[in-house]
Chains A and B, each alone.
Chain A
Amino acid sequence: MTETSPTTGPLFPRDRFWHPPAYTPGYKTSMTRAPSRPLVATSSTLSEETGPAFGRDMLGERDNNLILNFTGQPAIGERIIVHGRVLDQSGRPVPNVLIEIWQANAGGRYRHQKDGYLAPLDPNFGGCGRTISDDQGRYEFLTVRPGAYPWPNGTNDWRPMHIHFSVFGSGFGQRLITQMYFEGDPLIPRCPIVRTIPSQEAIDSLVAPLDMNGGIPMDALAYKFDIVLRGRRQTMFENRLEGL
């Protein structure tokens, strides 16, 4: 049996130099939505170390099949499998956690009242899916490759193809929303949202490689996307007030 991520214990502190800072002028909306005062930082407490749990019984049969889950008729686009594992920072699988995704359709259009892009809606594509990681931390989705789309920021900014990911851990302090990008997309290095991430190494960790062995011949290509959540400290020494 694989050793899985512990569900109790203090969370590893977040590395704030690895994540995008709040204030990133290249992504204009962040300028008025970034706190200007320092975050109040201290070790995690029970409020962050505990969190909601979701059972598989809440999942519908097609929840992780975005090609069919809206109307039952297939969505238009290039069929892809997106699969991977949820791990913690110690490299251990994180089982039984909820993963939700949302994305534009094959033409780059979202099913949202605020999206006015001229690419058409696909009547059979809703654009969201969810699943729960298995006992090895694995998950998979069947979807269509989302199109790139333009957005108002600079005069000609385009989002690379991407899938939005929302992931739960065993503690509320592990809560994470991020985006998956596709290997080889020339729009990745040009995207102001990608570039809110300070290092190339961190950016690379959000780019899913094409996985020829993970796909289905004559049916779907696959991309592999692993997600790493905050780890938990496991020490033989209890945290004591006096420090000794």
Chain B
Amino acid sequence: MVQKLDNLMESPSQTAGPYVHIGCTPNFLGNAGIYPVDLGASAIREGAKGEIITITGHVRDGSGMIMRDAMIESWQPDAEGLFPSANETRGKADPNVLGWCRFAADFDSGDWTLRTVKPGPVPHIQGMMAPHISLWIVARGINIGLQTRIYFEDEAEANARCPILNRIEHRARVNTLLAKKTGDGTYRFDIVLQGEDETVFFDL
């Protein structure tokens, strides 16, 4: 016998199920009257410094079906790479960047949209992480929230040096993490849960 570690186990995850909107985006669902606004309705306030961008995409499952029940949360730093977080120790982030946003796929089209500021690079012990937005995706059928990241195709140099992107052995798959420029300040980022062009998901 050996001594016992006093660590607890994390509470096991369970699917968010088909009705996640009731708890997380009740106003979006049409259940108005409980909260004045849904939490995380915007990642930025007017006046945020940096390039304002709009990213649109959908989430597709392994049968090719566009998921109309997915809910996504995003988390990112400001244009300088500082997080608007109580535990950011490197400096004070832009007060108009909230960093966290919550959005659900449209019930009809399945498209989601994130309007935010393009994030700055963030240090890592192995160098700088290229500008990225962290995503956490939940839905019916997803047993534990999926972590992925939006990187930007127009940040080729930073992407090539990013220690996290460089962890991806199958280099062709890096492409699944790159938001594609569709216009001035607009990007497309489709997420594929399973199959041929499956998005890279992380365990971080």
Q: Which residues of A contact B (CB under 8 A)?
A: 7-8, 12-16, 18-22, 24, 27, 29-37, 39-54, 58, 60, 63, 69-71, 87-91, 98, 100-102, 110-115, 126-128, 130, 164, 166, 170-173, 175-179, 193-194, 196-197, 201-203, 205-206, 227-231, 239-241
In angstroms, Cα B73 to Cα A175, docked, is 10
Query: What's the nearest-Cβ distance from chain B to residue A119, in Å?
Result: 14
Q: Closest chain B residue to A173 by CB distance?
A: B204
Q: Which of B14, B34, B84, B129 contacts A20 (CB 8 A)?
A: B14
Q: Closest chain A residue to B143 by CB distance?
A: A20
Q: Which of B88, B100, B193 contacts A33 (CB 8 A)?
A: B193
B44 close to A (CB within 8 Å): no
Range for the number of chain B residues in contact with chain A: 35 or more
In angstroms, Cα B20 to Cα A74, docked, is 23
Q: Which of A18, A52, A60 contacts B9 (CB 8 A)?
A: A18
Is A196 within 8 A of B143, CB to CB? yes
Given A102-B19, A115-B19, A177-B14, also A22-B195 (CB < 8 A)? no
Query: What's the nearest-Cβ distance from chain A to residue B83, in Å?
Result: 4
Counted as pairs of residues, one from A and one from B, with CB atoms less than 8 Å apart, the total is 277
Q: Which of B9, B22, B136, B139 contacts A175 (CB 8 A)?
A: B136
- Residues of chain B contacted by A37 (CB below 8 angstroms): 173, 198, 200-201
Is A228 within 8 A of B86, CB to CB? no
Q: Which of B22, B63, B144, B168 contacts A127 (CB 8 A)?
A: B22
A-B residue pairs in contact (CB < 8 Å), sample of 9? A12-B7, A27-B141, A33-B140, A33-B142, A35-B199, A53-B86, A89-B8, A166-B20, A229-B10
Is A22 within 8 A of B143, CB to CB? yes
Is A126 within 8 A of B10, CB to CB? no
Kindly list the 10 A-B residue pairs having the minimum CB-CB distance in the complex, ordered from nearest.
A102-B23, A29-B141, A33-B141, A52-B100, A50-B85, A41-B203, A32-B62, A20-B143, A39-B203, A50-B83
B105 close to A (CB within 8 Å): no
Is A166 within 8 A of B23, CB to CB? yes
Given A33-B142, A45-B164, A47-B132, also A89-B14 (CB < 8 A)? no
Comparing B24-32, B50-58, B152-160, the segment that makes contact with chain A is B24-32
Is A172 within 8 A of B22, CB to CB? no
Is B34 within 8 A of A69, CB to CB? yes
Of B18, B83, B87, chain A has the most CB atoms within 10 Å of the CB of: B87
B118 close to A (CB within 8 Å): no
Is A60 within 8 A of B35, CB to CB? yes
In angstroms, Cα B9 to Cα A15, docked, is 8
B182 close to A (CB within 8 Å): no
Is B35 within 8 A of A48, CB to CB? no
